[in-house]
Amino acid sequence: QQPVQSPQAVILREGEDAVINCSSSKALYSVHWYRQKHGEAPVFLMILLKGGEQKGHEKISASFNEKKQQSSLYLTASQLSYSGTYFCGTAGGSSNTGKLIFGQGTTLQVKP
């Protein structure tokens, strides 16, 4: 079942922060975050494998609450280059089969 992302779209000014949420109705093994720019393929941001795990990548970080079956992506001090559509991909079950189901995406637009 497809995970649900919120919000669907967000507009920011440079330097502002944003949070993108990803919720699943099924138990999760891992959550993967990607950013896709128009006309291009998705680019890997990070993978979270353990419940309660948090990871950071420059000014982009994420958390994974296994019990709540949720993950959140945090974008701090946003830059123009952060604009794009963010997708979470979830892998369910008790083992990592690799198969991902992607959310519907969250479009982020960062303005000067």
Partner 1 sequence: GAVVSQHPSRVICKSGTSVKIECRSLDFQATTMFWYRQFPKQSLMLMATSNEGSKATYEQGVEKDKFLINHASLTLSTLTVTSAHPEDSSFYICSARDFEGGTQYFGPGTRLLVL
Residues that bind partner 1 (CB under 8 A): 2, 30, 32, 34, 40-44, 47, 49, 87, 89, 91, 96, 98-105
In angstroms, rounded to a whole number, what is the distance separating the alpha carbons of residues 19 and 110? 13
- Shortest Å distance, C-beta 88 to partner 1: 10
- Shortest Å distance, C-beta 15 to partner 1: 27
Helix, strand or coil for residue 82?
helix
- Shortest Å distance, C-beta 98 to partner 1: 5
Which is closer to partner 1, CB of 59 or CB of 99? 99
Which is closer to partner 1, CB of 70 or CB of 89? 89
Which is closer to partner 1, CB of 16 or CB of 102? 102
Decide if 62 contacts 73 (C-beta within 8 A). Answer: yes
- 46 by Cβ neighbours in 10 Å (0-12 / 13-18 / 19+) ranks as middle
Residue labelled with tokens 């922060």: 17
CB atoms under 10 Å from CB of 74, counted, come to 15
Which is closer to partner 1, CB of 2 or CB of 25? 2
- Shortest Å distance, C-beta 101 to partner 1: 7
In angstroms, rounded to a whole number, what is the distance separating the alpha carbons of residues 97 and 93? 8
